[in-house]
Amino acid sequence: MKALKEWASPNFAVKAVLAVVTALTTLASVSAFAQEVIIAPSAPPPMRTEVVPAARPGYVWDGGHWRWAGRGYAWVPGHWRPVRVGAHWVPGHWVQRGPNWRWIEGHWAR
């Protein structure tokens, strides 16, 4: 009976609401898309010519790209990604930052 009275108390309700608000605030502050930062010491090789398959309804083609593999670049072939309604696909790409190159992951933008 005592446990039931604890659940019904206003003090418990306030603590429960504060706990939920704190948890939601913590989750909102954490990046849902935390990704590894990839830095390469040299420019990627020229892009390969890739044969793009026939269009698939509900999908967008994500073209191939060069991935830094620790001591050199390795080719990653293109693939299909399911379309997200109201967004467009921004392909991943390399950006020069000083003497190094940084990979910007492909993502959906509105």
10-residue mean pLDDT profile of the chain (110 residues): values are 58 53 39 75 97 96 97 97 97 97 97
Model pLDDT, residue 36: 85
Domain residue spans of the chain: 1-31, 39-109
CA 63/CA 91 separation, integer angstroms: 7
Model pLDDT, residue 48: 97
**What is the three-class DSSP state of 73?**
strand
Phi, psi values for residue 95, rounded to 5°: -130, 135
Model pLDDT, residue 27: 36
